[in-house]
Amino acid sequence: MTRIDPHPDIGPLTFLIGTWRGRGRGVYPTIDSFAYTEEVVIEPLPKPVLRYGQRTAHADTGEPLHAEAGFFRLPDGVPELVIAQPTGIVECHAGVLEGQRLVLQSTVVGLTPSAAGHRVTDVERTIEVVDDVLRYSLAMAAVGQDLQVHLVAELTRV
Amino acid sequence: MTRIDPHPDIGPLTFLIGTWRGRGRGVYPTIDSFAYTEEVVIEPLPKPVLRYGQRTAHADTGEPLHAEAGFFRLPDGVPELVIAQPTGIVECHAGVLEGQRLVLQSTVVGLTPSAAGHRVTDVERTIEVVDDVLRYSLAMAAVGQDLQVHLVAELTRV
């Protein structure tokens, strides 16, 4: 695909652009905690949006775990994120941008009929880039549990 | 990326796998009709899902128009689709599969705060593959209009 220069209106989010690889840890009261490896790709499109994709695998076994696909937006300087997940979940987020730190709260969490049992009602995503390190945390309210940290990861630009 | 064999449980949807290019037409009471070119990529992941991405451009000017990213699922033989769009829209779909024809109805349509004005309330997507031709139509209820055809396209496997 042709390399695209980011649209000027997405400028404040261009610190996210890159291919990022690293490790994370997942915890939740209803599951065994687990370590994972992750690759995130964030790239500009011709319009003022960034395309987002990620894949994770179990850190010990290499077994594929999760994937996400979506887009970052910045209408009127307010960061937004839309995500689809192969587990049957979609999310809309809006939040605040402070330098290279993005704090996003879900405004919509949707589940396909077969995924209704996940009962995800609320997701918060924090993403911060310092130098060439991207750290994120994801808090989730699901399966009747209160909103709490589910994922924390640290990735390096490759 | 390593080439992945589709998971056996997604078998009935593997007819969708490929890179597809062609043209479509968009109509709606509230806009001027337009012709577009499109590329769709549908590829397997290690789990029983297919990753879906597409990009469109104006047929005359080449101006980039739309993009989508998401995943097809087939839990218990029921096709589902989750999609995120850079316009700030997410969709969950469920439907029926008849041979190589997929009829999907939205069960969730979510909009980011800045996209609320689109007022998309319902989306139906029909996708059919005959030989190496993929035809789809998309009907949409938005901006106060009843559910009606918005997009029709015909793509060829490349």
pLDDT digits (tens, 9 = 90+) for A42-59: 999 999 999 999 999 999
* Mean pLDDT across A7-16: 97
* Mean pLDDT across B28-45: 97
CA distance A148 to B100: 42
User: Is it the case that residue A63 has pLDDT exceeding 90?
Assistant: yes
- Enumerate the residues of chain A whose CB falls inside 8 A of the CB of residue B2: none
What's the pTM?
A: 0.97
- Give the best residue of A112, A120, A123, A125 to mutate against chain B (max B CB count within 10 A): A112
SS (H, E, C) A73-117: ECHHHCCEEEEEECCCEEEEEEEEEECCEEEEEEEEEEECHHHHH
Average pLDDT, chain B: 97
pLDDT band at A2 (very low <50, low <70, confident <90, very high): low
User: Is it the case that residue A1 has pLDDT exceeding 90?
Assistant: no
Average pLDDT, chain A: 97
Q: Which residue in A76, A88, A108 is closest to B110 by CB distance?
A: A108
In chain A, the residue whose alpha carbon lies closest to the alpha carbon of B83 is A84
Whether A152 contacts chain B with CB within 8 A: no
With CB atoms and an 8 Å threshold, state whether B71 touches A93.
Answer: no
pLDDT at B84: 98
Query: Would you call B89 helix, strand, or coil by DSSP?
Result: strand
pLDDT at A3: 75
pLDDT band at B2 (very low <50, low <70, confident <90, very high): low
With CB atoms and an 8 Å threshold, state whether A90 touches B71.
Answer: no
ipTM for this model: 0.96
Whether B133 contacts chain A with CB within 8 A: no
Domain boundaries, chain B: 8-157
* Mean pLDDT across B87-101: 98
**Contact present, A153 and A22 (Cβ < 8 Å):** yes
With CB atoms and an 8 Å threshold, state whether B69 touches A84.
Answer: yes
The Cβ of residue A116 has, within 10 Å, a number of other Cβ atoms equal to 11
User: Is it the case that residue A124 has pLDDT exceeding 90?
Assistant: yes
- Enumerate the residues of chain B whose CB falls inside 8 A of the CB of residue A53: 69
With CB atoms and an 8 Å threshold, state whether A88 touches B67.
Answer: no
pLDDT at A32: 95
pLDDT band at A4 (very low <50, low <70, confident <90, very high): confident
- Among 3.40.50.300, 2.40.128.20, 2.40.340.10, 3.40.50.620, name the CATH number for the domain at A8-157: 2.40.128.20
